[in-house]
Amino acid sequence: MEYRKLGNSDLEVSAITFGAWAAGGWMWGSTDRNEAIEAIKASYEVGVTSIDTAPIYGQGVSEEIVGEAIKGFSRDKVQILTKFGMRWDLAKGDFAMKSFKNNGDAIDVYKYAGKESIIYECEQSLKRLGTDYIDLYQIHWPDSTTPIDETFEAVSRLIEQGKVRHAGVCNYNAAQMAEAEKTLNLVSNQIPFSMVNRGIEAETVPYCIKNNKSILAYSPLERGLLTGKIHSDYQFKEGDHRANLAHFKPEFIEKTNVLLAKIKPIAEAHHASLGQLVLRWTIERPGITIALAGARNAEQAVQNAEAINIKLSAEELKTIDDLVNAF
């Protein structure tokens, strides 16, 4: 595994980080708790020391799974990345969405990052994770109802108390990051990035490179689309959010599979899967520090981690870049 520092901090994380959204089941058509725990353990065994989760993933389930999985690990050998600012138990802030818990109960989700809420959320996360500190604490989504300085003053207090080591953001644009920086040093921004979703390259990536902020790319496999295993008549399980996304409409799936067919020979030359090639390409992109990869079971987790073993030549990278640019 390769390890990379986040921003100007001393926090090193694995270039392939375990993304625990699907492990929580929420919006992914449920989960198998034991398989999710085994997936985290298996990825740790092959060098994936960093795990990204959030309270909203299963309304606490994902964090509980992470906490259970890392019980046997030496705490200083694992990095826990979690989030705050999405409440399903408090009707405050920006309304985000109507959703359902894993048991089918309806919930309203709000983006809220008020000071007292953050302090409360941190305590709940620490309990679920079974730890006394969080390595990277990230606001999950911008909250237009709370001043940015109020949000990051609260995070600053948590850092002073030793409950949080470093602060990051998710889904922030460059202007929002600059505003947050007035209050607290940020080390990272977690944002969506993939071969078929490169909008951040226009403004956010250049800002992060210039200001030495790490980018944690989420959905680098575009929620499974870039594995090559999704076809135009794919049937999603009930509760799987992907069924309604534009990237999973038949036309887009077919267009994507044409791109994947063109890069497949490079994957085969490295005895790798398409998913592994895509992950390796992602962390080779300018400004991208790590790629978050989710897994439902141990086999998937190990496969994701093994993407690090692919060594792409400059010529191969250019070939892939040219194809992606033409997409």
Q: 150-160 pLDDT, tens per residue?
A: 999 999 999 99
Distance CA(208)–CA(188), nearest Å, equals 8
**Phi and psi at residue 137, to the nearest 5°:** -110, 120
Distance CA(212)–CA(187), nearest Å, equals 8
CB 136 within 8 A of CB 85: no
> Where are the alpha helices (H) located in 7-51, listed in sequence order?
33-45
DSSP state of 237: P
Name the domain count of the chain: 1
185 domain-assigned: yes
82 domain-assigned: yes
pLDDT the model gives residue 30: 64
CB 292 within 8 A of CB 217: yes
CB 123 within 8 A of CB 84: no
Considering only 94-98, 134-138, 246-250, 298-302, which range has the smallest mean pLDDT? 246-250
pLDDT at 262 over 70: yes
Residue 101 carries which side chain, given as an amino acid letter? Answer: K
pLDDT at 201 over 70: yes
Q: Is 57 considered catalytic here? A: yes
Of 3, 44, 57, 172, the catalytic one is 57
Closest residue by Cα to residue 40 from 221, 304, 241: 304
For 279-312, what is each residue's pLDDT tens digit?
999 999 999 999 999 988 999 999 999 999 999 9
3-state helix, strand, coil in the chain (%, to 5): 45, 20, 35
Distance CA(327)–CA(317), nearest Å, equals 15
pLDDT at 26 over 90: no
CB 187 within 8 A of CB 166: yes
The CATH number of the domain holding residue 54 is 3.20.20.100
264 domain-assigned: no
For tokens 């109507």, name the residue. Answer: 98
123 domain-assigned: yes
55 domain-assigned: yes
Q: Residue 240: beta bridge partners?
A: 28
Distance CA(208)–CA(198), nearest Å, equals 15
> What would you report as the CA-atom Rg of the chain, rounded to the nearest whole angstrom?
19
Closest residue by Cα to residue 279 from 258, 251, 304, 315: 304
29 phi-psi bin (left φ>0, alpha ψ -120 to 50, beta other): left
247 domain-assigned: no
321 domain-assigned: no
30 domain-assigned: yes
Q: Residue 106's domain spans which residues? A: 3-224+275-312
Q: Which residues neighbour 244 within 8 Å (Cβ) at sequence distance 6 or greater?
A: none
pLDDT the model gives residue 27: 64
